[in-house]
A = this chain, B = another copy of it.
Amino acid sequence: MAKSGPASTLRTGSTAGSAATRQALVDAAIEALKADGFSGASARAIAGRAGCNQGLVFYHFGSVANLLLAALDAVSADRLERYQASVEAAASPTELVDAAAAIFREDLEAGYVTVLVELIAGATATPGLGPEVAARIEPWKQFARDALDAALGDSPLASLVPSGDAAHGVVALYLGLELLSHLDGDRAPALALFDHARQLATLLQAVGTLPPATQAPA
């Protein structure tokens, strides 16, 4: 798959318009995916949002699918960086859940995860898109895995559920919650779940910390 478009003109010399147009298209693609979903993210719709001709989509990215992948890359980079900073500061499971809840709230309100969800769901339609999207989810899974390892690496829970499997579940839950929240425009149930998760984490943390004798009374 040779990259089409002016891939060799990434230096910001010569014509300044190119990079700006690319950026505008990427931003517009993100907005289109958030507002109208995969099937609404057409070259025309995106170019309309970006305020430029739809032919530019194909000039700069070769195809609509490639532009959407570029959009996914942009949000992924943006969000992973944000996550990294926020989660690194969390030492305990409780803090981890708190950080996750805060970020999730941010994601829901900004619609970042929508971009990912729409691309996953739409991947079936475009041949070859699936593997590309799958590869871009890998960092998220790895990140979830690292966070889980750091937070409860030595707890008894970790020996029951391998962090790789747990990370898969966490990512799946994240995507599913986004799917539901976006559907009925109500993110209260998702946030409530995080609240309960926080309580459970606190509980588990206490159980792991306290001497065995104090655990018994049910």
**Does A89 sit at the interface, judged by CB under 8 A?**
no
Given contacts A38-B38, A118-B121, A175-B179, 11 further A-B contacts (CB under 8 A): A35-B124, A37-B121, A37-B125, A39-B39, A117-B121, A124-B182, A137-B183, A156-B218, A160-B199, A165-B192, A171-B176
A193 nearest CB across to chain B (Å): 5
**Does A168 sit at the interface, judged by CB under 8 A?**
yes
**Does A10 sit at the interface, judged by CB under 8 A?**
no
B residues within 8 A CB of A35?
Answer: 124
Contact with B along A191-218 (1 / 0, CB 8 A): 0110010011001000000001101111
**Does A180 sit at the interface, judged by CB under 8 A?**
yes
Determine the main DSSP class of A at the interface with B.
helix
B residues within 8 A CB of A218?
Answer: 156, 212, 215
If A124-B35, A183-B133 touch, whether A189 touches B216 (CB-CB below 8 Å) is no
B residues within 8 A CB of A71?
Answer: none
B residues within 8 A CB of A40?
Answer: 124-125
B residues within 8 A CB of A196?
Answer: 160-162, 165-166
A139 nearest CB across to chain B (Å): 14
Contact with B along A99-123 (1 / 0, CB 8 A): 0000000000000000001101111
**Does A147 sit at the interface, judged by CB under 8 A?**
no
B residues within 8 A CB of A59?
Answer: none
**Does A78 sit at the interface, judged by CB under 8 A?**
no
Determine whether the beta carbon of A169 is less than 8 Å from that of B193: yes
Determine whether the beta carbon of B180 is less than 8 Å from that of A124: no
